[in-house]
Structure 1
Amino acid sequence: MTTYSRLYHWIDGKQVAPASDGVIDLINPTTEQLLGRVPAGTAEDVDRAVRVAVAAFPAWSATTPADRAAVLARAVEGMERQGKALAETITAEVGAPDKISLSAQVGFPLNVLKSHVDILRTFTWDDHIANSLILKEAVGVVGAISPWNFPIQLVMAKLAPALAAGCTIVLKPSEYTPLTAYMLAEIFQEAGLPDGVFNIVCGTGPVVGEAISRHPLVNMVSMTGSTRAGRQVFAAASETVKRMHLELGGKSASLILPDADFEKAVRTTVDQAYFNSGQACLAWSRMLVPDDRMSEAAEIAADQAAQYRSGDPASSDTDLGPQQNRACFDRVQEYIGGAIDSDAKLVAGGLGRPDGIDRGWFVKPTVFAGVKPGDRIAQEEVFGPVMSILGYDTPDEGVAIANDSIFGLHGAVWAADEQAALPYVKQLRTGRIDVNGAKTNLVSPFGGYKQSGFGRELGVYGFEAYLEIKSVQLAGDDTGGLEAGIRVREEQG
């Protein structure tokens, strides 16, 4: 298979031969066949890319917001033209069903890119506080490290704000799903992005990710991935006191209160947990229900799981694709086996592939009821289509169970109405919460509490993460001084 091979890095606007002859095999998760190959990059490749990004930074950061907006707008048009090809590549390397690849895996990042065109057209780049001029400037060279589950979206959540801010970038895409990153580079080049502003070095986390994190000329590292990998990146980047953004794991809870539309809440929670075959850090993998409705919840959830059809991602009948790689498949099987051996009740799915499927890393859509808060499957991120249903005695106990986690990324509250939900929303220690199945908002900030990381992506909050703030004291302004500053602060509340 050579169709998908990209045996080069993308540096300074062109294909660049790697420093070594090491390669990484890409495996189609549906067929388990070779999909293509990419370079196994080295620290030398990273250094070359970083130095190119450093050289490109002064000119790119000096462009006007209008000029950067024009480049991003042309890239939007390029993504729209290439949407089908991007979706086909996602299906091949991730295993996502076609309908998800086009609508979400491509559609979401396209809207993220559009939102940053809008930000550039309205953002205020300076401010005044008494005799001080406050300037907002690009942070510099950004090292971006992205995972395999949403390879365009989780790249675009870094790429769009960084480019909009005037930063230059060195990206390490996942070694499992790097192909769409190359396609994005070509789209942005066609859109007029100057050479050296967006660079790609393929390779593994311990080599390329480590080199990016440690490089003294990288000013910021933005990484999405597991909490384990985030700790390693954080340690490496801390040596040079870089700005950091980490979006890490989750074990999100969907809290269904007694007065909620129970059937809708249960079914929607299952759907959200199974999205992208459960390979999402924001999955509601814990469903919290009143103890006296455990059996009802289990019955509804099992019925919803039974409606999921696994199979060829290219088929319009397929709802659930495979896990992206064999290691993930094995890990999910281990969690399912461990839960079966516990006191939890298996009500749907279980070990092995779905019936009728003999190849590909497919997992049965699985539901466990009667899971205890301290169970391993209730505490650790499974990253597969596995739902745990936990019971609570009172809503306050439900909140306590939801907060009993090292993670705090996403969550849900289901109640009779929004006003009834809000007191519980405020008690949950998590960065994003949906009330009664509210729609995803791609311009609201996304990020976590606790070991789910820190910093925010998306919208203006995510954009501002790529800006430095410079305070300029103007001697010619006689309105300055401590008293004036205090007075302004009091007037502003």
Structure 2
Amino acid sequence: MIEKRQFYINGQWVNPATAHDFDVIDPSTEDVVGVISLGGQADTDAAVAAAKAAFPSWSQTSKAERLELLEKLLEVYKARQADMAEAISLEMGAPQKLARNQQVGAGTWHLQGFINAFKDFEFDRPLGPQAPNERTVMEPIGVTALITPWNWPMNQIVLKAVPALASGCTMVLKPSEVAPLSGLLFAEMIHEAGFPAGVFNLVNGDGLGVGTQLSVHPDVDMVSFTGSSRAGIAISKAAADTLKRVSLELGGKGANIIFANAAEDAVTNGVARCMRNSGQSCNAPTRMLVERSRYAEALEQAAAAAEATKVGPASEEGNHIGPVVSQMQFDKIQALIEVGIKEDGATLIAGGLGRPEGLNRGFYVRPTIFADVDNTARINREEIFGPVMSIMPFDTEEEAIAIANDTPYGLTNYIQCGDQEQRQRVARQLRSGMVETNSVGFGMGSPFGGYKQSGNGREGGIFGLHEFMEIKAVSCWEDV
């Protein structure tokens, strides 16, 4: 049993003001494998006070000092990758290979990307030749609250904590209480790297408790949140009274448009991309739109790909997908699969209700494909956040664009097309923050974020640094 009841506040591990134990569940087995404590108002206040006290000195440190600490953090992170992979696999069910290569690897990737962007970042910039003695100064926004989800723990913690550190902000991190072990390990890495006391603080808690307390706190200048659109709305309302900045990375319902001239493996690749991380990714391509001339073939390929997707425990090696994170998520996904079968008029061509054969314990979901789904169906409107995909046909380019855009979300869309001119034309018309084409992923430092109910911020590289800064104009600037 892992016991991690303490919080990291002002450079020390401290006991909660009031004990409030919370079990950590292994989603592969449903066993209790650890215990943390959920924080209360006193813990939140102590962490915010530490961050506030540390801000004046940390915000004035040199770029060189911060860069040195970030490079040390990367060194420590790489040295403890095995520990991080084990923690993520245990807490949220990522299989070993996925945990090592993609879950932990996302942290390394983004940390290096921020270091690269930070090296070239100019905090003082001339306005222009029209005002040669005026400077535009980029300054840290202040005390930040970082609220992160369970599905990609290190991806999201690094995307928030590292640019906040680089910009000169201080912070309080509230990782997901469902998957808290990775966040606690990250706090150990921060300590080992040598960041000053109070710059980084961590308090475990739930959304209604510590999450809300941070959102309304008068000494918090910014909230950076990743999670559901429902929770993002609640945080925005909670933060409104203090007019703090709120940066949101929220849900998605991405369309994957497959034109007739797409590569032969476009459908099978699309299914694999949707099922990755057991479908628990906000940018998953969960709506597959197929040009009608390829539709019948696509249904056969998609069903075969789903049936070939292996499901198993996170503790095992292999290319399989693991369980979903919790009983709550399992129940939600099962309910929406049932909606697809009984209410939405869709045709089930793979998977369905219940656990895969031979898996009677653990939060395992059958890789599921629905065909002939109308875009007004609930399974096409709601973010299921599991290994569930819908397929529908289209006849024209204009129809495909209209269907793709007909969603309250706008995070990531996908295009598979052999015509470069058409691919670019369609990409420009899709209302989303990201458009991945022909299965080519995004580069280091690319801006991650969405339109509409998918949020309002951008993370990664130079774009992520800007999120944590204020802009100040200074006149009569003389170089000294």
- Which of the five TM-score ranges fits, normalised by the shorter chain? over 0.9
**Aligned positions of 1:16-31 closer than 5 A:** 16-31=14-29
Per the alignment, do residues 318 and 31 of structure 1 end up closer, same or farther by CA in structure 2, a change over 3 Å counting?
farther
Deviates more, 1:299-308 or 1:447-456: 299-308
Q: How does 1:301-380 map to 2 (within 5 A)?
A: 301-341=302-342, 342-380=344-382
**2: distance between equivalents of 1:189 and 1:7?**
17
Structure 2 partner of 1:443: 445
Q: 1:223 aligns with which of 225, 239, 245?
A: 225
Give the Cα–Cα distance (whole angstroms) in 2 for the partners of residues 214 and 118 of structure 1.
34
Task: For 2:346 and 2:117, locate their aligned partners in 1 and report how far apart those are by CA, in whole Å.
Answer: 48
CA distance in structure 2 between the aligned counterparts of 1:282 and 1:276, rounded to whole angstroms: 11
- Shift of residue 238 of structure 1? 1.2
Shift of 1:24: 1.1
Counterpart residue number, 1:459: 461
Match for residue 253 of structure 2? 251
2:209 is paired with a residue whose SS is helix
- Seen in structure 2, the aligned counterparts of structure 1 residues 329 and 442 have a Cα distance that, compared at 3 Å, is farther
Q: Which residue of 1 aligns with 2:66?
A: 68
Counterpart CA distance in 2 for 1:409 and 1:120 is 26
Corresponding residue for 1:6? Answer: 4
Give 3-state SS (helix, strand or coil) of 2:265's partner.
helix
Provide the residue aligned with 1:187 in structure 2.
189
What is the deviation of 1:475?
7.9
Native 8 Å contact 1:372 1:390 kept in 2: yes
Identity among equivalent positions (%) equals 43
Q: Which moved more, 1:431-440 or 1:360-369?
A: 431-440
Distance 2:412 2:386 in 1: 16
The aligned residue for residue 489 of structure 1 is: none
**The one of 41, 44, 47 aligned to 1:46:** 44
Q: Quick check: 2:252–2:410 contact (8 Å CA) kept in 1?
A: yes
Q: CA deviation at 1:294?
A: 2.3
Amino acid at match of 1:18: P
Residues 1:399 and 2:401 aligned together: yes
Q: How big is the shift at 1:334? A: 0.7
Secondary structure at the counterpart of residue 471 of structure 1:
strand
Change in 2 beyond 3 A, CA 1:475/1:58 = closer
**Which residue of structure 1 aligns with residue 88 of structure 2?**
90
**How far apart, CA to CA, are the structure 2 residues paired with 1:307 and 1:40?**
40
- Normalised to the residue count of structure 1, the TM-score between the two structures is 0.94
Residue deviations 1:138-168 (CA, integer Å, cap 9, x gap): 1111100001101111111101100010111
Distance in 2 (CA, whole Å) between partners of 1:360 and 1:250 is 26
- What CA deviation, in whole Å up to 9, does each residue of 1:28-70 have, x standing for no partner? 1001000111111112211110010000111111111111111
Amino acid at match of 1:82: R
Q: Which residue of 1 aligns with 2:422?
A: 420
Cα distance in 2 between the residues matched to 1:276 and 1:45: 33
Residue in structure 2 matched with residue 486 of structure 1 by the alignment:
none
Matches of 2:120 and 2:285, distance apart in 1: 35
- 8 Å CA contact retained: 1:308, 1:320: yes
Aligned-pair CA distance for 1:186: 1.0
TM-score normalised according to structure 2 size: 0.97
Residue range with higher mean Cα deviation, 127-136 or 461-470: 127-136
Distance in 1 between residues matched to 2:158 and 2:348, nearest whole Å: 38
**Counterparts in 2 of 1:475 and 1:281: CA distance versus 1, 3 Å:** closer
What SS is found at the alignment partner of 1:152?
helix
Task: Note the alpha carbon deviations across 1:385-435, whole angstroms, 9 max, x for none.
Answer: 001001112111010000000000001111114332000000000000111
Distance in 1 (alpha carbons) for counterparts of 2:146 and 2:180: 13
Question: What SS does the aligned partner of 1:453 have?
Answer: coil
The match for 2:79 is 81
Distance 2:3 2:421 in 1: 53
SS at match of 1:210: helix
* Unmatched segments (≥5 aa) in structure 2: none
d(CA) in 1 for partners of 2:413, 2:8: 38
Distance 2:253 2:282 in 1: 8
User: Structure 2: which amino acid aligns with 1:74?
Assistant: K
Structure 1 residues 400 and 15: CA distance shift in structure 2, 3 A? same
Partner of 1:482: none
Shifted more, 416-425 versus 192-201: the winner is: 416-425
Deviations 1:198-247 (A, max 9, x none): 10110110110000000011111000000000001000111111111000
What's the RMSD between the two structures over aligned residues? 1.3
Q: Give the distance between the partners of 1:115 and 1:366, measured in 2 at CA.
A: 35
102, 105, 127: which is aligned to 2:103? Answer: 105
Task: Assess if the C-alpha contact under 8 Å between 1:323 and 1:362 holds in 2.
Answer: yes
Range with greater deviation from structure 2 (76-85 or 414-423): 414-423
CA distance in 2, matches of 1:5, 1:440: 38
Q: Deviations over 1:240-296 (max 9, x none)?
A: 1111100001000011122212x3211111111111000000000000012343221
| Local SS of the residue matching 2:441 | coil
Q: In the alignment, what sits opposite 2:289?
A: 288
Consecutive aligned runs of 4 or more in structure 1 exceeding 3 Å deviation: none
Distance 2:38 2:79 in 1: 30
Write the distance in 2 (CA, Å) between the matches of 1:132 and 1:216: 32
Distance in structure 2 (CA, Å) of the matches to 1:441 and 1:382: 27
Check if 1:139 corresponds to 2:141.
Answer: yes
Equivalents in 2 of 1:471, 1:350: separation in Å?
Answer: 58
Q: How many pairs were matched up?
A: 474
Q: Given that residues 66 and 120 in structure 1 are in contact (C-alpha distance below 8 angstroms), is that contact kept between their aligned partners in structure 2?
A: no
SS of corresponding position for 1:136: strand
Contact 1:418 1:436 (8 Å CA) reproduced: no
Deviation at 1:442, TM superposition (A): 3.4
Extract unaligned runs of 5+ from structure 1.
478-493
**Pairing 1:209-220 to 2, within 5 Å after superposition:** 209-220=211-222
